[in-house]
Structure 1
Amino acid sequence: MRLEFALLRVEMKALEKPLVTVILTTYNQEKYIEETLTSVFYQTYPYIQLIVVDNASTDSTLSLIERFKASAPAFQIIRNNTNYGLCKAFNQGLNIANGKYMIDLSGDDIMMADRIEKQVEAFEKLPEEFAVVFSNAIYIDQKGSRLHNHYAVDGNEKALAPVPSGDVYKNILEKYFICTPTMMMRTAALNQMGGYDESLLFEDFDFWIRSSVLFKYFYLDDILTKKRIHPSSLSTKVYQKGSGILASYYAVCNKAYDLNRDQQEFDLLAARIRTFIRKCLYAQEFELAIRFRRLLNYIENPGWQTELIVFMCRLHLPLNFAYRFYIKNLKKVLTQEGFSF
């Protein structure tokens, strides 16, 4: 009898599945929020804690969430009277999260039905030194029409080119390559890092820098998320004067400077800083360009090309309007020629 009971306990333990917390942050996403919520509840994986944080929406987003809650399984809603920004809103959810794993989901993105199941399966096979499982994604427009994949794929929807996995810190310093909403994160790692940095306007670059220097990442080669692209996306505002986005990048670059472990990492950071100096010129963030240049000088001689850009910043050349007009129209022409973004 004791042996049978012991075997039963072993079998029950084997059937236990980890809880996954989905923190869904919303702000004025009435057009998309119901589709996003539906994608959470139609997951093939049943062990989900959903926390919705409404960041003081001024449209009908919150009422749609509450109407959805009346007919759906229980989930928690945090109703903010003030828009605290993405990072603080996420941390509000993190403070009450119980899941072993975590997903940061925007109110206009969509998860494929088997996303959580596949990511949990991958995570459970990985050692604890892995803090993130990320995947491929489809970009969609405001109407939900398919634009392109994050990583180009073959006929079996597998990435054509190798995607960095494991120790990706150098890759993150070099360029943007992870589609943010595809990430599933280990909650213990997030808590160890203190969550997102609430002083920043965005979370991803800072999270990638601080986490990848401590933990490994795993690429799961499946298309598991639809990421929506629209004119109000934060990424479209980097060239807007006074947006604060480039200032957040400057803060993260300073963190990376302190975290770097070898000369190659400093070389990669220097190259990244040079791109931000150019963006400061186009965004007319002139004083910030000088601060970036000062940080670059701690790593290496800026060189004449960068010094020329900084000199142009000192002249306060009004390039912002012309550059944004150029980007907008170049993108329109390339789209007509068959290029996708």
Structure 2
Amino acid sequence: MLPSTSTKDHQRSMMPLVTVALPAYRHEAFIEETMLSVYHQTYDRIELVIVDDRSPDETLGVVQWLASRPWFRARFERVHVVQNEANVGAHASLNRAMALAEGEYISLLNSDDLYAPSRISRLVEVCRSSNVECAFTNVEPVNDAGHSIFSDSLAQSIALNPRRVIENLPSLSFGFLRYQLSSSTGNIFLSRELQQKIGGFINLRYCHDWDYMLRLISKVEPVYIDEPLYRYRFHDGNSFRSLSDVAEAESEVVLSRYYLQVLLGEVKNRKAPSPYNWPGAFEAIAGHFEVFDLWRQISGDYKAHFRTVDLRHKRNSSVGLYRSRFAALEFSAGTDGRSG
């Protein structure tokens, strides 16, 4: 016997509402396909919030046309489209979209990228079954036409780096010392409760998503789903192509902010990279990733702050273990999976 309509309605009402927060800017060629990838999700309860950042092209026009179609609106619990009064940048558009969210979970999406149909269903399933508040998935790099590409070295790095971290490092969050493992702002999925604790994105042009993930891992250990459920589009307009000149300076800002959290005791996630959570291993891994000198500059004589227990045995054994694993690592120098 098929379930009754009332049973289906009850089952649906028990599902958490997910807000897809979509900041849009100058992507008239891609935004319709992006919105349709949300429309075709297998998950039922979705609201769609789109914030256009005063796009100089027809991005807003395409958004408004599709969002006004009755068949499109009927699929969602709410479709909300707004435009900023002035161009304020990606970080501010993301913050506005998240502030408008009413869902229990917030799923970010870039206006040139795509969701695989089962993405939200899998993220909700994993977060609820594992009782976690933040997750991201493997990424499928695609070209302008939406076809998979793996010939590009950066595309390969994006797809493989999370797996390498899981195989070689003591925790998933350790990888964020070197990489923005989720690869893109749009690959971030988190509970609204956690988002309210973390706050918004800061005003960085290139590394705002990396900074956000480091702030997330300071509170919780994320979950990685090794399925290519986020389709990251490589094209000539990707921001990483035009903003690489600010990468080094912003990277130092981001890591300095995280290290300051460590020193202030604000890193509550016991799996997060810090010398207090992973004595010995932290020093070795940070050295391998070439970010230990910055830690020393910021922390000074941090050893004085270690917990008052004998950590020497754990430190010595950890260093030996992880140094042997480093020999097998093949992270590509200079490729950090930056988003566009």
Q: Normalized against structure 1, the TM-score is what?
A: 0.69
Check the 8 A contact 1:256/1:269 in 2, yes or no.
no
Which amino acid is the alignment partner of residue 246 of structure 1?
E
CA 1:125–1:134 in structure 2 vs 1: closer, same or farther (change >3 Å)?
same
Within the candidate set 174, 181, 198, 1:177 is matched to 181
Q: Which residue of 2 aligns with 1:253?
A: 255
Q: Deviations over 1:236-275 (max 9, x none)?
A: 23443xxx44333222121122133315445545655669
The answer for the alignment partner of 2:93 in structure 1 is 89
Q: State which of 217, 221, 226 in structure 2 corresponds to 1:212.
A: 217
Matched, 1:98 2:102: yes
Q: Residues of 1 paired with 2:22 and 2:90: CA distance?
A: 10
- Compare relative contact order (CA 8 Å, sep 6+) and give the higher one, 1 or 2: 2
User: What residue is the counterpart of 2:306 in the other structure?
Assistant: none
Code of the aligned partner of 2:159 = Y
How far has the Cα of 1:188 moved from its partner?
1.0
**Number of the residue aligned with 1:235:** 240
Alpha-carbon deviation of 1:195? Answer: 2.0
* Correspondence list, 1:165-314, <5 A: 167-180=171-184, 181-198=186-203, 201-240=206-245, 244-260=246-262, 261-262=274-275, 264-265=281-282, 268-269=285-286, 272=289, 297-298=297-298
The count of aligned residue pairs is 268
Q: Give the aligned residue type for 2:38.
A: V
1:40-189, aligned counterparts within 5 Å?
Answer: 40-71=38-69, 72-73=72-73, 74-127=78-131, 130-148=132-150, 150-151=158-159, 162=166, 167-180=171-184, 181-189=186-194
Match for residue 26 of structure 2?
A: 28
Distance in 2, matches of 1:17 and 1:163, equals 34
| Kept in 1: contact 2:169–2:175 (CA 8 A) | no
Provide structure 1 residue ranges, at least 5 long, that are not aligned to the other structure.
Answer: 1-7, 154-158, 276-292, 301-341
Partner of 2:86, secondary structure, is coil
Distance 1:78 1:268, change over 3 A: farther
Pair 245,218 (structure 1): closer, same or farther in 2 beyond 3 Å: same
Native 8 Å contact 1:134 1:219 kept in 2: yes
Other-structure match for 1:281: none
Q: Secondary structure at the match of 2:226?
A: strand
CA change 1:294–1:160 in 2 (3 A) is: closer
Q: Give the RMSD, CA atoms, in angstroms.
A: 3.3
C-alpha displacement of 1:93: 1.1
Paired with 2:169 and 2:102, the residues of 1 have a C-alpha distance of 27
Contact 1:164 1:219 in 2 (8 A): no
SS of the residue aligned with 2:68?
helix
TM-score norm. by structure 2 comes to 0.69
